């Protein structure tokens, strides 16, 4: 594992990216800016790229 990375030890489903981020971080969180890919792009940036924003 990389420093600052977390791995869930069992499969789980969440109702939103923000709920998943809040569980992992142990605080309220905006999942669209907390979740990042290996290149450091946020979920918000990736979703924007899909719709051409």
pLDDT in tens, 9-31: 888 899 999 999 999 889 999 99
Task: With CA atoms as reference, report the closest residue to 20 among 35, 42, 10, 39.
Answer: 35
Task: With CA atoms as reference, report the closest residue to 21 among 9, 32, 10.
Answer: 32
Residue 32 lies in a domain: yes
* The two three-digit tokens of residue 49, written as one number: 């790229």
Q: Rounded to an integer, what distance in angstroms lies between the CA atom of residue 20 and that of residue 23?
A: 5
Q: How confident is the model at residue 1, as a pLDDT?
A: 47
Residue 7 lies in a domain: no
Residue 21 lies in a domain: yes
The structural domain count of the chain equals: 1
Residue 8 lies in a domain: no
Residue 46 lies in a domain: yes
The answer to pTM > 0.75 is no
Q: How confident is the model at residue 30, as a pLDDT?
A: 97
Residue range of the domain that includes 45:
17-50
Q: How confident is the model at residue 43 (pLDDT cuts 50, 70, 90)?
A: very high
> Do the Cβ atoms of 37 and 26 come closer than 8 Å?
no
């Amino acid at each position: 594992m990389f420093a600052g990375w977390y791995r869930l030890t069992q499969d789980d489903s969440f109702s939103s990216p923000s709920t998943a981020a809040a569980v992992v971080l142990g605080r309220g969180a905006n999942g669209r800016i907390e979740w990042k890919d290996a290149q450091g792009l946020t979920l918000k940036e990736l979703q924007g790229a899909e719709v051409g924003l």
